[in-house]
Amino acid sequence: MSACNFTHTTFVLIGIPGLEEAHFWIGFPLLSMYAVAVFGNCIVVFIVRVERSLHVPMYLFLCMLAAIDLALSTATMPKILALFWFDSREITFDACMTQMFFIHALSAIESTILLAMAFDRYIAICHPLRHAAVLNNRVTAQIGMVAVARGSLFFIPLPLLIKRLAFCQSNVLSHSYCVHQDVMKLAYADTLPNVVYGLTAILVVMGVDALFISLSYFLILRTVLQLPSKSERAKAFGTCVSHIGVVLAFYVPLIGLSVVHRFGNSLDPTVHVLMGDVYLILPPVINPIIYGVKTKQIRTRALAVFKISCDKDFPAVGGR
């Protein structure tokens, strides 16, 4: 390997290969999804904050999840929209490293919160009499702080490992944003430490979380099937439906993107881009919709907010 006498100060992001001429119009659906993500998650945070009856672990964890989705969307979507609308493809090295950290750290924090929500459902269904003692608001806040610390500490080494590498060949990434696997592939150096640490961090955080979430639902299912009546079984498991949907929306695209990065070198570049966009955009959009549709307390309060807003904007004629 010859010496690398310079390194890139910027990277080039791509949109959807082969559809460059349609990028301007594709930006509008992306903006709509971003608006849904921001509005939906803001509504969830607002409702949980102002409704004191929802100050219980299940909804406090949901509020944390919504805040994480807001941060994740805001860390990526403005630059993606600039790419599609204004052909702003370049991103500086430091901005790329910052975005990379937030994407990976926030994903890890979200994974930890999903595990905490699974644990909450396990205690509520399998040990209901101990729920208030095991999971009170103080413990819930501590779990949130641990989630933030865990995600940050495990993934802050990724940009530091990238900064030690030299980049003096291609600087064109295969996504519309910066992720560790994508940037690492462009390096003109030994990336084995990056591969080992990146894989270890993913397995220790997301892998362990997925394992314990699966274990929680195995124990929940065993307990539910032991309930005497069909209505009790349906009611108990019904409290988990929203969380299961959110878990699938998070882990299925994550696993798919990981498989594509590891084994999809022969696939069309469009597959890489679409899988990456689904992983990044889908959870923040779909999470508030799932909980808004399936959770009566959230749905009722949201409808009340809309009704008050409509009454203020369009008062009845003659005061009626």
Q: What local confidence, expressed as pLDDT, does residue 307 receive?
A: 64
Q: Which domain holds residue 17?
A: 10-299
Whole-angstrom distance, CA of residue 69 vs CA of residue 109: 10
At CA 212, angle to CA 54 and CA 142, rounded to 5? Answer: 45
What pLDDT was estimated at residue 276?
A: 81
| pLDDT of 5 | 54
- Alpha-carbon gap, residue 219 to 238, rounded angstroms: 15
Residue tagged 């689904």 (tokens): 278
- What's the pLDDT at 259? 76
Total tally of structural domains belonging to the chain: 1
Residue 31 lies in a domain: yes
Question: Which residue has tokens 């003096």?
Answer: 168
For residue 69, what pLDDT is reported? 94
Q: What is the pLDDT of residue 77?
A: 92
- Are 1 and 165 in contact by the 8 Å Cβ rule? The answer is no
124: in domain = yes
Nearest to 281 by CA among 24, 29, 13: 29
**pLDDT the model gives residue 65:** 95
CATH number at residue 194: 1.20.1070.10
Beta strand pairing call for 90-92 and 10-12: antiparallel
- Is residue 75 within 8 Å of residue 103, measured between CB atoms? yes
In a domain, 142, yes or no: yes
Low-confidence ranges of the chain (pLDDT < 50): 1, 316-320
Query: Around 281, how many Cα atoms within 13 Å sit in the side-chain half-sphere?
Result: 22
* pLDDT confidence of residue 320: 41
- 317 found inside a domain: no
d(CA 269, CA 17): 7
180: in domain = yes
Q: Please report, for residues 27, 42, 103, 165, the alpha-carbon distance to residue 70 in angstroms, rounded to integers and kept in the order given.
A: 19, 8, 12, 31
Residue 35: the pLDDT is: 94
CA distance 96 to 190: 20
Residue 234: inside a domain: yes
pLDDT tens by residue, 233-267 = 888 888 888 889 999 999 988 888 777 766 666 66
Cβ neighbour number for residue 243 with a 10 Å cutoff: 24
For residue 306, tell me if it sits in a domain. Answer: no
The answer to whether residue 263 sits within a structural domain is yes
